[in-house]
Amino acid sequence: MKTTVIIFPGSNRDRDMIAAITKISGHVPKTVWHTETELSSTDLVIIPGGFSYGDYLRSGAIAARSPIMDALSNAATQGIPIIGVCNGFQILTEAGLLPGALMRNAGLTFVCREVKLEITNANTQFSSRYGQGEIIRCPVAHHDGNYFADEAVLKKLEDNSQVVFRYAEGTNPNGSINDIAGIINEQGNVLGMMPHPENLIEDAHTGDDGRRLFESALGLVA
């Protein structure tokens, strides 16, 4: 299983992601710097959280125009699984690989806490180890996580069951429309989510609800 983590100037959850993947899969992921132009053979690409380019212009906007993004876009077209967490989700929407946009949190403050997520589509390669409708714990830490899409896009997302994770009732931390916490693209191989599953994978994290996401994506037996 070959995994790749893309790193941008200002990424800061890359080490958490590398540690999680290494612990879960037994393999150390390859890291690729944003100025590179190729993603050599890989089975899974991850864009970690952080504040690429200091969130200048808009969160993820500058990173989404980095040299590596053409290769990422090609990988997406080829059906290679891609996960963007937090800033990674922002970058994927800015790059047009996922629909919608992530705006300033409705409460205007940075939120760093645990939320509950409902698995609203367990029939994806990223969520197959969860039960449909299952409620899991997951940490969030962001300032711009307020998911927005216009009515037409939203209808399409809902009709196609592209909403994979929703903030469970009463835990929406940022005002996201339809309580959306994570979505996949139409093809089903690109996932973006604001919460951090990599920060809840073992006892030291007080739980491992995030672990099954990686087990699903890595095709590991639970």
**Binding-residue pattern over the window 162 to 201 for another protein, x denoting contact by CB under 8 A:** -------------x--------------------------
**Binding-residue pattern over the window 136 to 155 for another protein, x denoting contact by CB under 8 A:** ------------xxx-----
Which of residues 15, 104, 143, 205 is near another protein by CB under 8 A? 104
Is the Cβ of residue 175 or residue 207 nearer to another protein in the bound state? 175
The minimum distance between CB 65 and another protein, in angstroms, equals 6
Q: Is the dihedral of CA 200, 202, 206, 211 positive or negative?
A: positive
Is the Cβ of residue 94 or residue 198 nearer to another protein in the bound state? 94
Is the Cβ of residue 2 or residue 65 nearer to another protein in the bound state? 65
What phi and psi, each to the nearest 5 degrees, are found at residue 10?
A: 105, -5
Q: Does 58 bind another protein (CB under 8 A)?
A: yes
The minimum distance between CB 203 and another protein, in angstroms, equals 38
Which of residues 57, 67, 70, 156 is near another protein by CB under 8 A? 57
Single-letter amino acid code for the residue at 88: G
Q: Does 94 bind another protein (CB under 8 A)?
A: yes
Catalytic site residues? 86, 196, 198
Closest to 101 (Cα-Cα) out of 194, 207, 165: 194
- Neighbouring CB atoms inside 10 A of 184's CB total 27
Is the Cβ of residue 25 or residue 172 nearer to another protein in the bound state? 172
Interface residue list for another protein (CB under 8 A): 57-58, 61, 65, 93-94, 99-101, 103-108, 148-150, 175
